Amino acid sequence: MKASRRQRRLARLLAASALVACTSAWAQSYPSKPIRWIVTSTPGGAFDLISRALVGPMSAGLGQSLVIDNRPGAGGIVGLESVARAAPDGYTVLTSGLSQIVLERFFHEKLPYDPQRDFAPIGTIGELAFALHVHTSVPVRTLKELVDYSRANPGKLYYGSAGIGHSFNLATEMLKQRTGADLTHVPYKGTAPGLKDLFAGRIQVMFYPPSGQILSQIRAGVIRPLAAASHRRLPALPDVPTFQEEGIDSYNVATWVGLFAPAGTPKDVVARLNRELNRASSSPEAQKGYEAISMLPNTSTPEELVQRISRDTPMWGAVIKSLGIKPEK
C-alpha cells in the first residue's frame, strides 16, 4: 500500500514537472504566428487609432505581425464576446476600456460574457481624458466659482451629454454628488448636437476632450475650460488645473483604455505582451497617436489594471444606482 502511494505521488510530480517544462518551452517560442487584435470601434474611432499607432512598434518587439480586426456593434459587446470565446493562447488580444469592462454590466441584465471573469488584463494603454467646459456667458473662471454660482442660481445652468449613462453624464453627476452643484441634465443623441448647443449658449456646461472644434472655440473665447478630469494636466490645456488641484481629491474620471486577452492566457505570455505594450507606448509612432486623440499615455502592469477595475466598479455602480438607471433585460 505504501509503495503504491509513493508511486502515485511520484507519478503526479513527474506529470506536473513535464507540464511546467512544456508550458515554459511553449512560452519561450511565443509568438510563432500573427496575433489578431480585436478593436471594438469602427476604423477612425479612438480605440482604432491608438491600436493602429501601437501595432507597428509592438510587432517589431514581438517579431510577429499584429493584425487589426474591427468588430464594432452593440456598444462593444460584439467584439468582447468574440474575444471571450477565443482560445486563450496569446493569439487574440483586445482593446477595450472603462465603458465596456466596467459600465456595461450596469446597463444590461445579461451579457454574453463576464467582464471580470472572461478576460485577462494585459495592461493599461492610456486615458482618454476630458475637461469640464463652460460657456463664457457664465460669469465664472474656476471650478469653485461654478459650483457656488450654480448653487446660488438653482435651475439656471444646464449640462449636456450623449445620453443617460454616457461617461460625460456620469462624470457630471459625480461632480454634483461631490460638490452639491446645481446642474440640470440635457441628454442628446450623440455629443455633436450637445457641442453645438454649448457653443450657442443654449446649454452652459459640458465635459469633452480637449481636441478638435472645442479647442478652436476656446481660442475664440466662446468656451472656457475650468478643470481637467485626469490625474495630471492635459498637454492640450497646460494652464488648466486638474480637479485635484481645485480641491476635489480622487476625482479621476478619465475613460481609461486597456489591452486584454481571453481569460486563461498563460501568465508568461501576458507578461511578454505587457512588456511589449509598455515599450511600444513610448515610441515616437505611438506618441503621435496619443497626441492625435488627446490621450494620456498611462501604462501599467496587469495587476494594476486588475486593481483599477476592482476599484472603479463599485464607484461607478454607486453613481449609476443614484441616477435610478435600471439594466436592460
- Domain membership of residue 84 (yes or no) is yes
Statement to judge: residues 44 and 115 lie in one domain: yes
CATH classification of the domain holding 136: 3.40.190.10
- Domain membership of residue 81 (yes or no) is yes
CATH classification of the domain holding 289: 3.40.190.150
- Rg of the chain over CA atoms, in angstroms? 23
Statement to judge: residues 104 and 177 lie in one domain: no
pLDDT computed for residue 14 by the predictor:
53
Q: What is the mean pLDDT of the chain?
A: 89
- Domain membership of residue 25 (yes or no) is no
Statement to judge: residues 222 and 263 lie in one domain: no
**Domain end: 208, 228, 248, which one?**
228
Statement to judge: residues 204 and 65 lie in one domain: no
**Domain end: 184, 208, 228, which one?**
228
In angstroms, how far is CA 232 from the centroid of its own chain? Answer: 16
- Domain membership of residue 316 (yes or no) is yes
pLDDT computed for residue 250 by the predictor:
76
Q: Is the dihedral of CA 238, 240, 246, 251 positive or negative?
A: negative
Statement to judge: residues 117 and 135 lie in one domain: no
pLDDT computed for residue 323 by the predictor:
82
- Domain membership of residue 236 (yes or no) is no
All residue ranges of the chain with pLDDT < 50 are 1-2, 8, 11-12, 15-23, 26
pLDDT computed for residue 172 by the predictor:
95
- Domain membership of residue 252 (yes or no) is no
Nearest of 245, 255, 243, 265 to residue 298 by alpha carbon:
255
pTM, to two decimals: 0.80
- Domain membership of residue 13 (yes or no) is no
Statement to judge: residues 280 and 212 lie in one domain: no
- Domain membership of residue 8 (yes or no) is no
Q: Domain span at residue 275?
A: 35-127+257-322
Number of domains in the chain: 2
Statement to judge: residues 210 and 147 lie in one domain: yes
**Domain end: 209, 228, 247, which one?**
228
pLDDT computed for residue 29 by the predictor:
87
pLDDT computed for residue 27 by the predictor:
54
